[in-house]
Structure 1
Amino acid sequence: MVFTKECFRLRSSSFRLDRAVTMVNVPKTRRTYCKKCKRHQLHKVTQYKKGKDSLYAQGKRRYDRKQSGYGGQTKPIFRKKKIVLRLECVEPNCRAKRMVPIKRCKHFELGGDKKRKGQVIQF
């Protein structure tokens, strides 16, 4: 089979379209190992959110001082955050929590509808 430039162009464009509509859909509960109970238990899954930044931390003070005045943005803005899942054991006496990082993704959904074959995706 002979591949031409046009063939490669068509294949790559269809690949890009497929990747654009995919999103990560994670169920709200997961049965996984609990270190405190020492056995598999049901865990409640939530998305980890970072706390509010302190205005008086040394790095923030240094950054604000560097940003002030003329000259625009001085440091690179981080845009590639990984999604972190926060797992909490549902056992009443345990309630142990742990963080599990997953890969980077453009769209993240927690407990969304499961994808079925032959259905059109609507936004």
Structure 2
Amino acid sequence: SFRRNQLVKMVNYPKKKNTFCKGCSSHQSHAIVWQKKAGKASTVAQGKRRYDRKQAGYGGQTKPIFHKKVKTTKKVVLKLKCAKCGQSHQHVLKRCKHFELGGQKKE
């Protein structure tokens, strides 16, 4: 189908973009950063402490582990930082299998 073929395309995005900044209330140059991995999970968070306490001792796995994953792609979230005031905001792109930041342009 048409939509399925549309998702397979490689996305090449520039490292800098001129867009609106709320801090400056005008269009400014923004540096774009793309973070692939999530941050390290905290071991002192209440949910993690509760989970570790429940898991301790005999009895195996106490919480359900989700295995029925359906999505094959993730939405790309970009972090835009203003060159003038330094304020940053996020911008979500559509789903894509391959994403590249600041790659070579096709001619």
TM-score (norm 2): 0.70
Deviation at 1:70, TM superposition (A): 3.3
Q: Is the 8 A contact 1:87 1:100 kept in 2?
A: yes
Q: Which protein has the larger Cα radius of gyration, Structure 1 or Structure 2? A: 1
Higher share in strand: 2
Q: Distance in 2 between matches of 1:19 and 1:66?
A: 45
Give every structure 1 segment of 4 or more consecutive aligned residues whose post-TM-superposition deviation is greater than 6 Å.
none
**For structure 1, which runs of at least 5 residues remain unmatched after alignment?**
1-11, 117-123
Q: Specify whether residues 20 and 82 from structure 1 end up closer, same or farther in structure 2 by C-alpha distance, changes over 3 A only.
A: closer
Q: Identity across aligned pairs (percent)?
A: 50
41, 49, 66: which is aligned to 1:53? Answer: 41
**For structure 2, which runs of at least 5 residues remain unmatched after alignment?**
none
Deviation at 1:104, TM superposition (A): 2.4
Q: How does 1:8-87 map to 2 (within 5 A)?
A: 18=5, 22-48=9-35, 49-64=37-52, 69-70=59-60, 74-76=64-66, 81-87=74-80
Q: How many residues align?
A: 101
Higher share in helix: 1
TM-score (norm 1): 0.62
